[in-house]
Homo-oligomer: A and B are copies of this chain.
Amino acid sequence: MIVVKVGGSEGIDYDAVCADIARLWQGGQRLILVHGGSSQTNAVAEALGHPPKFITSPSGYTSRLSDKKTIEIFEMVYCGKMNKMIVEKLQKLGVNAVGLSGIDGGVWRGKRKKAVRAVDEDGRKFVVRDNYTGTVEEINTDLLNMLLDGGYLPVLTPPAISFEGEAINVDGDRGSAETARALQATDLIILSNIPGVLTAFPDESSLLKEIQFDDIDHVAKTYAEGRMRIKLLGAKEAIEGGVGRVVLGDARIERPVAAAVAGQGTVITR
C-alpha cells in the first residue's frame, strides 16, 4: 500500500502524474492518490472577487484564512475543478478512479480550531474566529478499503469534516500522512514543484537526498520554510505512525511517481 500526494502549486505535470499512477495501479499496486489545488484556488478566488488571505501562526506556519465563502471557493476548485480533472485523466487511462473529498463518507475527520492564533507583520498576536480549519485526526479506512477491494482507486482532496459536521480546511500533506499511517502504508510519496528539501533554496542542486527520522526536526529548523516545513512535519507524523518511508519528490518531471518510488528526491526513513 502506498499513498501518493501531489501538490497544487504551479508547474506540476498532472498528465505525467496520472500516467505513472495508472502504470502502478495497473501493475497491481494498491494505492491512494491525494491532491491539492492551492494556486488554482488563489486564481479563482481573485476572479470571484474574494481574494485569498493568509495568516501566519506564532510558530511560523502559514495557512489560508478560511471563512465560509473561502471554503466554498476552495471546494469549487479542490473538489470540482482539480479532483474531477484528475479523475477524468485516470478514467481515460482505464483506471476506475473515484474522487472523494474528506467530507465524503467522513473520510477525513478532525477537530475544528474555532479560534486560531496568528501574528501580523509587526509580530503582534491576534485571534481569528470566522475560520474553518483543523487537522485530520480520523480516517475512514473502512470506506477506503471497501473502494480499493472493489477495484476503485480513491482520489482524495481537502476539505475534511469536523466532528460537528462542518467542512474544514486541512493541510493536504498532513492529511496524506495521517491516511498513510491509518492504512499502514509502506511508502508515502509527497510530490511538489521542487525536487525535495533544498539546503540552499531555491538552488536545486542543493537537494538533501536522505534524512534520518531523528534529524527531521533539525532539518526542518535549519533548511526548510513554509510549505516544506509542513511536509516534514507530515513525514515525521507518518513515520512515527509506522509508515516505512517518506519520499519528497518532484512532480514536474516525466515519471514523477516512479522516480520518487525509486528514491529520487529526499528520502526519509527511521
Contacts and interface: CB of A to CB of B under 8 A. Distances in A.
A98 B105 contact: yes
Contacts of A164: 92
Contacts of A72: 81, 85
A57 B152 CA distance: 37
Contacts of A93: 165
A142 to B, nearest CB: 7
A156 to B, nearest CB: 12
Interface residues of A, number: 42
Interface string A31-49: 0000000000000100111
Given A79-B80, A143-B150, A87 B103 contact: yes
Nearest to A107: B98
A257 interface: no
Contacts of A77: 76, 80
Interface string A42-85: 00100111000000000000000000000010011111110111
Interface string A92-121: 111011111101111000000000000000
A225 interface: no
Interface of A: 44, 47-49, 72, 75-81, 83-85, 87-88, 91-94, 96-101, 103-106, 142-143, 146, 150, 152, 159, 161, 164-167
Contact of A146 (B44, B99, B106, B146): B146
A263 to B, nearest CB: 32
A50 to B, nearest CB: 10
Given A92-B165, A96-B105, A97-B105, 18 more contacts: A47-B48, A47-B49, A75-B80, A75-B84, A76-B76, A76-B77, A79-B79, A79-B83, A79-B84, A80-B81, A84-B101, A87-B104, A88-B167, A91-B161, A91-B165, A92-B166, A99-B104, A143-B152
Contacts of A98: 100, 104-105, 143
Total identical chains: 2
27 contacts: A47-B47, A47-B49, A48-B48, A72-B81, A75-B84, A76-B80, A77-B80, A79-B99, A80-B81, A84-B101, A84-B167, A87-B101, A87-B103, A87-B104, A88-B161, A88-B166, A91-B161, A91-B165, A92-B164, A92-B165, A92-B166, A96-B106, A97-B104, A99-B100, A99-B104, A143-B152, A146-B150
